[in-house]
Amino acid sequence: MNDTDSGPAARMPPPLLPLFPLQPILARIVRRIAAENPSMFNRLGPWVGADFIIDPVNMPFALHLRPDREAPVLRAVSRRALPPHVAHISGRFLDLLELIDADLDGDALFFSRALVIAGNTEAVVSLRNALDDIDGSIAERVAGMFGAPGRAVLAALRRAGERARQKEARA
């Protein structure tokens, strides 16, 4: 099928990805990060318990984040059924991964349009400040939760990100 095909199959949305296998993993990640970094909630101010959508545009799902002291939420959601949220942050997966560790400049990503923010920008700045309060690499902590396989996946993702940046620089 090509882009000019206008038959019924061309208008069908892509099949829904079963997201339930991801949910326990994401829940474990957010509970651990929240438990190890309780002071980050101080930086969120009125946005503790607010709902955010983190949308890695090159992945088949978005993430719903609710930074709540008592019951933090991180879950995969269909883009077709996003929950109500105060802000929607979208960009490529590898950019978002590096952004949470402050390896990339969020302002530069925003102004280059590689990062798109919709909704309450004050809430997004508060979330960014809360993440900045976490000592060390969030991605490395998460990878470490899964031992050697997790660290290997993170290393592969970082290499892929570096290759993508080098390719873009040459273009």
In this structure, the number of other CB atoms found within 10 A of the CB of residue 14 comes to: 7
The DSSP result for 48-71, as a single string, is TT--EEEEETTSSSEEEEE--SSS
pLDDT single digits (tens) 18-30: 788 889 999 999 9
* Mean pLDDT for the stretch of residues 58-64: 93
What contacts 43, CB < 8 A, 6 or more positions away?
A: 126, 129, 130, 132, 133
Query: Is residue 55 within 8 Å of residue 89, measured between CB atoms?
Result: yes
pLDDT single digits (tens) 75-91: 999 999 999 999 999 99
d(CA 115, CA 95): 8
Structural domains in the chain? 16-136 (3.30.1050.10)
Entry pTM: 0.81
Confidence at residue 12, expressed as pLDDT on a 0 to 100 scale: 41
pLDDT at 96 over 70: yes
What contacts 136, CB < 8 A, 6 or more positions away?
A: none
pLDDT single digits (tens) 133-156: 888 888 999 999 999 999 999 999
Look at the alpha carbons of 77, 81, 83, 84 in this order and tell me if their dihedral is positive or negative.
positive
In this structure, the number of other CB atoms found within 10 A of the CB of residue 111 comes to: 10
Confidence at residue 107, expressed as pLDDT on a 0 to 100 scale: 58
d(CA 168, CA 102): 20
pLDDT at 13 over 60: no
Q: Name the more confident of 109 and 169.
A: 169
Confidence at residue 24, expressed as pLDDT on a 0 to 100 scale: 94
Confidence at residue 85, expressed as pLDDT on a 0 to 100 scale: 97
**% residues pLDDT > 90 (the chain):** 52
Query: Is residue 116 within 8 Å of residue 91, measured between CB atoms?
Result: yes
